[in-house]
Amino acid sequence: MSNNALTKRPEWLALENHFKEMEDVPLRALFADDPSRFDHFHLRLDGLLFDYSKHKINARTKALLCALARACDVEGWRARMLSGAAINTTENRAVLHMALRGSTPEGLEVDGENVTDFVQDTLALIKTTSERVRADKSITDVVNIGIGGSDLGPRMMCRALIASADGPNIHFISNIDGDALSLLLGKLNPHSTVFLIASKTFNTLETLTNTAAARDWLLAALGPDKVYDHFLTMTANPEAALKFGIAPANILLLRNWIGGRYSLWGATGLALAIACGFEVFNDMLKGAAVADRHFIQSPLEENIPVLMALIGIWYRNFWKYDALAILPYAQSLEILPSYIQQLDMESNGKGAGKNGETLDYQTGPVVFGETGSNAQHAFMQLLHQSRQVIPAEFIAIAGAHHGMKAHHMALFGNALAQSKALMDGLENTSEPCKNFPGNRPSSTLILDQLDAYHLGMLLALYEHKIAVQGAIWNINSFDQWGVELGKSIADALIKDFDNDTRNTCTDSSTAGLAQYFREKFIKS
């Protein structure tokens, strides 16, 4: 596809015409026309329910969106991804995180290496390493140092499954702000603390700065002989890890075909295996594999992540909705909105197509969220009554993992009430401030249980949704060059702070701010 051919496709033009037919049709009318609408617009998958009936679509919308997906060769793109083709075109890399869940063909090779063999070896090492750490009762605390996908994935899963954690205390450090690490280290004992260094490249500024500080802290207490017994690392750059001093037995490998934001399924999931046990980690993989099979085998019209993707495109490109709210109604899923935010915005926040052309259509939305019912006392006001329409995705749990029945009924009731209120609204002509326009679309995903299996399934569905959108938008969802520019400028500024920043500050604003910092901090 070249030169913005997407918006010239007959399938795209058909959707533009169909949008004009649907623009003034309220959601309430769709339900009035079809009392069994829920039956026709929901899908189930092994303990997960996806309700998409509260969307501004009908059967024709769905058919037209699926026709667009076929015209953009989503099925062929999916096959190429599974085959190990280098669909990450800017970095010439395969995209095979599904292999970590056993969902790619056996015998597949990348760069002369059998992918299945690598995955099995990695799983075995995660198992033995996590069991070794868990069995060592002298270890009371484990600190995962990483950022981005090396932090959010394991942090989110460890927080979500905290009720089943029975290993050492797990902590996470990501920000380069030294206060976070300093405050944490002040509570820990260096003799009983192990650090997990999660860095695919082993050269990320934030991670290496925090790692160096952790090493200094250990050195002061343990001396040089025992320091490196307290480090494990997950990386695709073992040479750099060895140079740092980490023992070969303490290095778990990643590969270039595992993107950082997908590395939870491999070695970066070590923190979860240590916190909750290898079987819990493996249950997460099993759940994701079920979602993979569904994505690979189900027709587009009955494919949950494909429909999630197409509904998102319908809103982003035809209704011109700019944002998406992620609303998990489970406090232990408090990090899930940030996880999905990174997964989506880092993947699809692109303005250039695969052929280098400037796109004439929008891609990824602004993704934000919060747990319910906290969100109801924060930004939900805007979702209900502002002129801006923001589609929402509610995530709820049918079965409570605690004994507080009244709490769980109230929580689930609030989730249903919010989606219904967004859809129905409330007309109040006597008091306009209490008028709710309604007609605000949402999906609802319900998990039977809040456990590793169902969370693995949920995360894999979101991965596939976002990747399908990228395939239709003809962008590379698997690079993140937008992360790099600021990092390179920061590197130059940091090197110059002690001397003179004029070489890197070519504008008066940055120069003035840098000079202020030098006066207040460097020279003080």
**Residues assigned a catalytic role:** 346, 377, 487
Q: What is the number of alpha carbons within 13 Å of residue 184 lying toward its C-beta?
A: 23
Exposed, middle or buried, 178 (CB in 10 Å: 0-12/13-18/19+)? Answer: exposed
Alpha-carbon torsion angle 284, 307, 58, 44, nearest 10: -30
297: which residues sit within 8 A by CB, 6+ positions away? none
- DSSP 8-class letter at 316: I
The answer to whether the CB of 176 falls within 8 A of the CB of 209 is: yes
Sign of CA dihedral 189, 214, 193, 183: positive
> What single letter denotes the amino acid at residue 138?
S
Instruction: Go through the chain and tell me how many residues it has.
Output: 524
Nearest 5 degrees, angle CA 262-CA 470-CA 63? 120
Rounded alpha-carbon distances, angstroms, from residue 383 to 18, 80, 114, 502: 25, 39, 49, 46
Segments in 72-204 forming alpha helices (H): 74-83, 115-135, 149-160, 178-185
Cα atoms in the Cβ-side hemisphere of radius 13 Å centred on 520: 6
Helix (H) and strand (E) counts for the chain?
A: 19, 13
**DSSP annotation string for 57-101:** --HHHHHHHHHHHHHTTHHHHHHHHHHT---BTTTTB---GGGGG
CA dist 396 and 447 (Å) reads 6
Contact 393, 325 (CB under 8 A): yes
Handedness of CA 510, 516, 517, 518 (dihedral sign): positive
Pairing mode of beta strands 231-235, 193-198: parallel
Is the separation of the CB atoms in 200 and 164 below 8 Å? no
CA distance 296 to 370: 31
